[in-house]
C-alpha cells in the first residue's frame, strides 16, 4: 500500500445564496498516490476547478462557501490546520498550473522577478542572484533556449507556449509533492499543448510529483493520466484506470462524454440530450485495474 499524497473523503460544498443553499459538490471522494497522475474529467460547471481550489485552500475566504468533508494531504488532515499552516503548504508542497499561462503571469513584473518570488516560498532567504541561477537552470531543464533572456522578459513579450513552460517550471521549482493542473494549455494551440504536456509528464516523472489533472479533454486524459475520475454535477459518476474507463465506459454520462469527442475520421458530433435522469445513475467503479501503478 503506497502512501497517499492526497485523499479527499466525502467532500461537500454548497454556496449560500439569497438564504438558500446551492449544493455544488456531493460526497466527492478521490485519492492520489505518490507520483500518480490522476485526471478529474467533467464538463464546465461540474465542480472540477472548485475541487482544486478547495484542496489548495483558496476558497476558505469566501464567507458564503460551506465546505464539509475531510481532505488529507500526506496523511495530515487539512481541516485541522490553521490558516497559516495551510498557507505554508501552498507553493511549497503543493502548487498549481492555470488554464491561460499568459494571463496567469503578472504583466507588470519580469519572469525573473516572479520566479524569484516563487523560489522564495521554498527558500525565504534566497538572493536575487541565486534565484536567477536556479530559475535559469529550471528553464533550461524544460528545454527553453536563452533562459536569461526569458527571465528578463515580461509575459507579453513571450509566446503562450513559452509562458506555459515558465508556469510549469515555476510549479515544479520547489519540488512539490502535489501538482494541480487546472486545464493547462486549454488556451494554447494543440501542437504547443502537446509539447508542453510531454515536458510536464517527463518532469513530474523525474520528480515523483503526484498530479491532479483537471480537464475536459479526453485525448489529453488518455495520454497523461493513470487513473480517471469522471465528475458530473458535483458527483463522481465513474472512476478507474484510464484504459478501463475509456475503453469500457459503464456510466451513461461517461459514454455520452466519450461520444461527444469530435473525431478526425468524421461521423458527426453525437446528439446528446439533457438526459439527466439517466446520468443520475449510481457511480461505477472499475476497481484499481491493471494499469494503476503499484
Q: Is 276 among the residues that bind other proteins (CB under 8 A)?
A: no
| Of the candidate residues 25, 32, 71, 105, the single one contacting other proteins (CB under 8 A) | 105
Q: Is 48 among the residues that bind other proteins (CB under 8 A)?
A: no
Q: Which residues pair with 33 in a beta bridge?
A: 4
- Residue 42 φ/ψ, nearest 5 degrees: 175, 170
The dihedral over CA atoms of 195, 196, 200, 206, expressed in degrees to the nearest 10, equals 50
x/- letters, 159..178, toward other proteins (CB under 8 A): -----------x--------
Q: Is 81 among the residues that bind other proteins (CB under 8 A)?
A: no
| Of the candidate residues 13, 78, 96, 168, the single one contacting other proteins (CB under 8 A) | 96
- Beta-carbon count within 10 A of 149 CB: 13
Q: Is 207 among the residues that bind other proteins (CB under 8 A)?
A: no
C-alpha to C-alpha distance for 60 and 225, rounded to whole angstroms: 29
Q: Is 74 among the residues that bind other proteins (CB under 8 A)?
A: no
CB of 55 to other proteins, least distance (A): 10
| Of the candidate residues 42, 91, 184, 234, the single one contacting other proteins (CB under 8 A) | 91
Helices (H), 9-94: 48-56, 83-89
Distant-in-sequence, close-in-space partners of 101: CB < 8 Å, separation ≥ 6: 155, 160, 163, 164, 166, 167, 184, 185, 187, 188
Q: Is 149 among the residues that bind other proteins (CB under 8 A)?
A: no
Of 15 and 154, the one with the shorter C-beta distance to other proteins is: 154
Q: Grid coordinates standing for 123?
A: 527558500
Q: Is 90 among the residues that bind other proteins (CB under 8 A)?
A: yes
Give me the residues that bind other proteins (CB under 8 A), please. Answer: 56, 58, 87-92, 95-96, 98-100, 103-110, 117-118, 121, 154, 156-157, 170
Amino acid at each position: 500500500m503506497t502512501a497517499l499524497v492526497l485523499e479527499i473523503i466525502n467532500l461537500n460544498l454548497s454556496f449560500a445564496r439569497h438564504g438558500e443553499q446551492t449544493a455544488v459538490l456531493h460526497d466527492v471522494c478521490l485519492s492520489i498516490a505518490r507520483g500518480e497522475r490522476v485526471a478529474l474529467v467533467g464538463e464546465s460547471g461540474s465542480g472540477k476547478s472548485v475541487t482544486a481550489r478547495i484542496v489548495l485552500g483558496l476558497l476558505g475566504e469566501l464567507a458564503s462557501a460551506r465546505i464539509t468533508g475531510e481532505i488529507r494531504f500526506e496523511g495530515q488532515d487539512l481541516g485541522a490546520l490553521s490558516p497559516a499552516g495551510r498557507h505554508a503548504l501552498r507553493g511549497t508542497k503543493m502548487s498549481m498550473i492555470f488554464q491561460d499561462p499568459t494571463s496567469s503571469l503578472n504583466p507588470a513584473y519580469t519572469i525573473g522577478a516572479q520566479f524569484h518570488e516563487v523560489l522564495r516560498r521554498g527558500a525565504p532567504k534566497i538572493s536575487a542572484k541565486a534565484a536567477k541561477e536556479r530559475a535559469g537552470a529550471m528553464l533550461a531543464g524544460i528545454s527553453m533556449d536563452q533562459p536569461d533572456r526569458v527571465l528578463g522578459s515580461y509575459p507579453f513579450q513571450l509566446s503562450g507556449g513559452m509562458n506555459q513552460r515558465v508556469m510549469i517550471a515555476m510549479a515544479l521549482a520547489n519540488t512539490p509533492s502535489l501538482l494541480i493542473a487546472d486545464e493547462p494549455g486549454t488556451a494554447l494551440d494543440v501542437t504547443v499543448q502537446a509539447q508542453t504536456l510531454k515536458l510536464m509528464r517527463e518532469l513530474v516523472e523525474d520528480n515523483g510529483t503526484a498530479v491532479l489533472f483537471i480537464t475536459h479533454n479526453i485525448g489529453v486524459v488518455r495520454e497523461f493520466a493513470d487513473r480517471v475520475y469522471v465528475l458530473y454535477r458535483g458527483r463522481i459518476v465513474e472512476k478507474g484506470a484510464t484504459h478501463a474507463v475509456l475503453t469500457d465506459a459503464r456510466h451513461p454520462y461517461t459514454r455520452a462524454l466519450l461520444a461527444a469527442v469530435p473525431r478526425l475520421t468524421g461521423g458527426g458530433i453525437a446528439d446528446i440530450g439533457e438526459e439527466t435522469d439517466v446520468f443520475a445513475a449510481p457511480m461505477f467503479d472499475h476497481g484499481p485495474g491493471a494499469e494503476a501503478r503499484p
